[in-house]
Structures are given as C-alpha cells and as structure tokens.
C-alpha cells in the first residue's frame, strides 16, 4: 500500500469573507522539446503541444451533468490548440470495471481518470496504464508538489496526473434556512448535532445524505474517524494494519449513527437517504431557497458545480463551514482524480501534458465546482472567494495532506458500487444501530480485498 502524508487538521477553511491571494506566475520558458516530434504549438498554455490534426482521442471519467460540461470546456481548449478531436465517455462509478470491459473489447480509452489510488495501482498491475512521457513529466514536476506527484506514481514510475483535487471536509448550507432557524456555523460534532436539531425544529429537514452513492458514506466515516481516532490510526486502518473490528471503528460508527439514526435530522429519513443520489443531495438545500428539501449537505468542493445549476449564489445563498471536530481537531480529508493513459499514444501523452499545465487548471476552475493542486495557477481564475479559499488551503498544505481512505484501498473494497465498504456503509445507513454487524461486514470485505 502506497503511503500518503497528512494534512494536520489545523488547516482552516473560512467559508465567508475574502482571502488575499498572491497569484503565482504561469509562464514556461518553452525551450525543451516535448519528446513527441513534429510541429508544436505554444498558444495560450505556455507548454509545447504537438499538432494532432486528424487524430481522435477517447477520454473516460465518472463525471456527468455540470461536472462533465465543465471538463469538456478543458477538452475544447485542447482541441483548439492541437487540432485533435476528443470524445468524452462517461464511465459510471465503477471505473475499473469499465476499463476492464473496454480492454477486453480491444478499444480502451486513450485517457481515463482513476478516482481512487487503488484503481490507478490496479491499472498498472494489470499492465493497462502506460507511463508518462518526458514532456508530461516535465510539466507535472513544474506545477505540482512532490506529494501530488507521488500519488500518481507506482514503484517509482509516474503514471498519473492528479489534475483535479477535492477538499472533502466541507459542509454546505442554505443561509436563509440558517437565519430563519437562528442557527450558527458549528465548531464541533455536538454543536453540529445541536444545529441540526435547531434547524429541524424550524421546520426544515437538516441534512441531505446521498446514500444511494456509497462513496459519500465513506467520506462521512473518514472525516469522523480522522478527527476522533487521529492520524496514526487513520494510516493504520487505510493500510489494513488494524482490523475494521477495532474499537476506534466502533467509536466512529457509533458517532455517525447518532446522525443516521435520527430520522428527524435526515432529509426524508433513512429510507429516503438510502435511495438519494449524490447530485440530488447536492442541490437539495439550494434548488428552492425559500422552501429547501434540506438545510445542509456534506461533501467536497465539487458541490459548487451543482449549486451553480440552481438560482443560488455561492458565497451568498450557499456557504460552507469545515467538517465539525469530533476529537481535538477538525479533520481535513482530500481526494482527487488521476488522468492516466491506457494507449500511450502521441495524442494521449499530449493531453496529459496539457492537463498538467496552468491553462488547463484555470480553464477548469473558471465555472466553479473544481479545485486544482497546481501550485502555479492564477487563483483569480476561481469564480468566487469561497472556491479561492478552499483551493488555497489545499495548495498551502504542500506535501502534508491526508488522502481519502477508501480511495487508497483496493478497488473491490473502497471503490466498487454494491461491494465492500460502499455496500457495508449503505447497510449501516439503513440500520445504524447495528454497529457490530457493520464492522464484521467491513472487515470481511477488507480482508478479502487486501489479500488478493
């Protein structure tokens, strides 16, 4: 298991108010050959890209809806600068299964985004992923800290570009619902539970939970576990050096069960939460600002992309506060998506080079709902102070960050719909009193996945 570093939970993310950001330079001297041969184009991005007239690429990722539309704007710029034609292919949540099917059919996508470290490692183990070429590695090394580069490396070889990151320790809320309830942003777990009850008493369901997508439940657990059990235990559980039957897991599930077990605090109660998809939970507090389906939703910065599809304005109608501290510190959990080439073609390597550039990051950031670990991008590209603050906290962390636990696990345990951790936590959401049963299911699935 690849070791990852920690963001100490002291990193603070302030949801309102401006943050003074000094934008770093985005230029490149452009002197080196990109290793792909042929004519090159330096327009806009400050990075050399080959001319790819007539070449077609297929790119697969999990994103749909506004997230897909925002990414396709990045692909449009790449097409304009190279002459290539790029087709976007939604993979569904099970990226590993999608790729396995595509490889078996003899037509793997040229580039695919692995949403978990474990999935990236599986692609390398199976021999599907191809290493980055010299040009992509140069651009990656210039713009990304060593920690983010290491996450995309396997056995010392660079395969992935973590061009899209996520801060997974945020709670988004409807400001009108909070004002009407007389609620304030809570600092700790008890304050969060008290706030949820206060909002419930005002007549608004407090928390939307997108339990139909099991990965959202892993994020709930990880934030509670990191804050309550601490970084050392977090690393041990992530590597399966301690079992899921450990008392620290008992404590975390018991804490999570305080929320999941109270139907007055969950929008629609447990039964609706088990059927609510993440996109529906993301807009629940904001689709109708005066009569919301929920006051709050917990999830990463990419909730902003869904808020932008409503009439709500991020920073005014929709604000954030850090995930409440369960232990002595607020947790900070990060995630990300790694671009990987499965064909190693000239066009695929060029796209990985572009995705490592500042222009790609700034293009992707402009609509909102996205943050980048690219340390040299202009922070002014983010559309509002909320996004800017979230991103700056990530960049300021440098190489010290804690990566999503389930994303580090083997895909069968931490990244597959209807299996492993996703399924066990969905069952726990349906029956939050059965902490022991959930732990047994988690340990059984983990033991099998880490052994294989």
Chain segment 78-115, per-residue pLDDT in tens:
999 999 999 999 999 889 999 999 999 999 999 999 98
Write the DSSP string, 191-228.
HHHHHHHHHHHTTS--EE--TTSHHHHHHHHHHHHHHH
Q: Per-residue confidence at 73, pLDDT binned at 50, 70, 90? A: very high
Which CATH number is 130's domain given?
A: 3.40.190.10
**pLDDT given at position 93:** 84
Greater model confidence, 395 or 174: 174
Share of the chain above pLDDT 90, in %: 76
Residues 6+ apart with CB under 8 A from 247: none
pLDDT at 324 over 50: yes
pLDDT at 378 over 60: yes
Residues 84 and 185 in one domain: no
Q: Where are the alpha helices (DSSP H) in 126-174?
A: 134-143, 146-151
Looking from the CA of 402 toward its CB, the CA atoms found within 13 Å total 29
Residue 38 lies in a domain: no
Residue 3 lies in a domain: no
Residues 157 and 180 in one domain: no
Of the listed ranges 46-55, 103-112, 338-347, the least confidently predicted one is 46-55
How confident is the model over 378-400, as a mean pLDDT? 82
How confident is the model over 189-193, as a mean pLDDT? 98
Residues 145 and 277 in one domain: no
Residues 259 and 303 in one domain: yes
Question: For residue 132, how many other CB atoms are within 10 A of its CB?
Answer: 27
Residues 129 and 187 in one domain: no
CA dist 149 and 142 (Å) reads 10
Residues 302 and 434 in one domain: yes
CA dist 413 and 447 (Å) reads 9
User: 293-318, pLDDT tens digit by residue?
Assistant: 999 999 998 999 899 999 999 999 99
Mean pLDDT score across all residues of the chain: 88
CA dist 421 and 201 (Å) reads 33
Residues 270 and 362 in one domain: no
pLDDT at 9 over 60: no
**pLDDT given at position 392:** 80
* Lookup result for tokens 């998506």: 337
**pLDDT given at position 398:** 63
Q: How many domains does the chain have?
A: 2
Q: Per-residue confidence at 402, pLDDT binned at 50, 70, 90? A: confident
pLDDT at 6 over 60: no
Of 396, 38, 421, 28, nearest to 238 by C-alpha is 421
CA dist 117 and 115 (Å) reads 7
Residues 350 and 203 in one domain: no
Residue 241 lies in a domain: yes
How confident is the model over 357-382, as a mean pLDDT? 94
Range of the domain at 276: 170-331+418-451
pLDDT at 399 over 90: no
Residue 68 lies in a domain: yes
pLDDT at 15 over 50: no
Residues 141 and 243 in one domain: no
Residue 174 lies in a domain: yes
pTM of the model: 0.76
Residue 7 lies in a domain: no
Q: Would you state the structure tokens that stand for residue 385, as one six-digit string?
A: 């102070």
Residue 21 lies in a domain: no
CA dist 452 and 448 (Å) reads 6
For residues 281 and 300, the answer to whether their CB atoms sit within 8 Å is no
Q: Per-residue confidence at 48, pLDDT binned at 50, 70, 90? A: confident
Residue 29 lies in a domain: no
**pLDDT given at position 397:** 66
**pLDDT given at position 411:** 83
CA dist 413 and 417 (Å) reads 9
User: 151-180, pLDDT tens digit by residue?
Assistant: 999 999 999 999 999 899 999 999 999 999
pLDDT at 19 over 60: no
**pLDDT given at position 295:** 98
CA dist 8 and 228 (Å) reads 13
Of the listed ranges 123-132, 281-290, 406-415, the least confidently predicted one is 406-415
Residues 339 and 438 in one domain: no
The three-state secondary structure class of 323 is coil
How confident is the model over 242-257, as a mean pLDDT? 98
How confident is the model over 21-44, as a mean pLDDT? 36
Residues 316 and 425 in one domain: yes
Residues 376 and 422 in one domain: no
Q: Is 411 exposed, middle or buried (0-12, 13-18, 19+ CB in 10 A)?
A: buried
Q: Per-residue confidence at 116, pLDDT binned at 50, 70, 90? A: confident
Percentages (nearest 5) of helix, strand, coil residues in the chain? 45, 15, 45
Q: For the chain, how far is it from start to end, CA to CA, in angstroms?
A: 13
**pLDDT given at position 36:** 38
């Amino acid at each position: 298991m690849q070791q990852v570093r920690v963001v100490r939970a002291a990193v603070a993310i302030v949801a309102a108010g401006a943050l003074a950001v000094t934008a770093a330079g985005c230029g490149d001297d452009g002197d080196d050959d990109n290793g792909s041969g042929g004519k090159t184009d330096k327009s806009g991005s400050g990075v050399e890209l080959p001319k790819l007239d007539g070449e077609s690429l297929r790119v697969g990722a999990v994103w749909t809806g506004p997230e897909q539309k925002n990414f396709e704007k990045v692909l449009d710029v790449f097409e304009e600068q190279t002459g290539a034609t790029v087709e976007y292919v939604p993979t569904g949540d099970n990226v590993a299964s999608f790729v396995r099917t595509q490889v078996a059919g003899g037509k793997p996508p040229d580039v695919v985004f692995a949403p978990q470290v474990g999935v990236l490692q599986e692609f390398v183990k199976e021999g599907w992923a191809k290493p980055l070429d010299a040009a992509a590695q140069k651009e990656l090394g210039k713009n990304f800290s060593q920690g983010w580069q290491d996450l995309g490396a396997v056995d010392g070889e660079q395969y992935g570009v973590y061009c899209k990151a996520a801060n997974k320790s945020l709670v988004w809320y409807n400001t009108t619902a909070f004002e009407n309830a007389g609620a304030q942003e809570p600092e700790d777990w008890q304050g969060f539970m008290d706030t949820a009850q206060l909002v419930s008493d005002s007549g608004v369901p407090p928390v939307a939970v997108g339990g139909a997508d099991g990965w959202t439940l892993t994020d709930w657990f990880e934030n509670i576990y990191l804050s309550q059990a601490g970084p050392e235990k977090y690393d041990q559980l992530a590597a399966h050096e301690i079992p899921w039957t450990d008392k620290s897991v008992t404590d975390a599930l018991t804490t999570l069960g305080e929320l999941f077990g109270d139907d007055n605090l969950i929008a629609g109660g447990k039964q609706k939460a088990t059927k609510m998809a993440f996109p529906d939970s993301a807009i629940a507090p904001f689709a109708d600002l005066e009569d919301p389906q929920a006051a709050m939703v917990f999830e990463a910065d990419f909730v902003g992309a869904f808020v932008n599809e409503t009439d709500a304005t991020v920073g005014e109608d929709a604000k954030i506060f850090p995930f409440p501290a369960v232990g002595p510190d607020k947790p900070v959990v990060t995630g990300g998506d790694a671009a990987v080439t499965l064909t190693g073609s000239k066009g695929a390597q060029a796209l990985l080079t572009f995705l490592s550039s500042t222009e790609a990051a700034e293009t992707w950031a402009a609509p909102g709902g996205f943050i980048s670990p690219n340390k040299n991008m202009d922070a002014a590209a983010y559309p509002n102070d909320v996004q800017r603050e979230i991103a700056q906290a990530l960049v300021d962390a440098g190489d010290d960050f804690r990566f999503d636990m389930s994303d580090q696990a083997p895909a069968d345990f931490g990244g597959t719909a209807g299996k492993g951790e996703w399924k066990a936590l969905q069952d726990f959401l349906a029956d939050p009193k059965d902490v022991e049963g959930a732990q047994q299911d988690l340990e059984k699935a983990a033991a099998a996945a880490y052994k294989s």
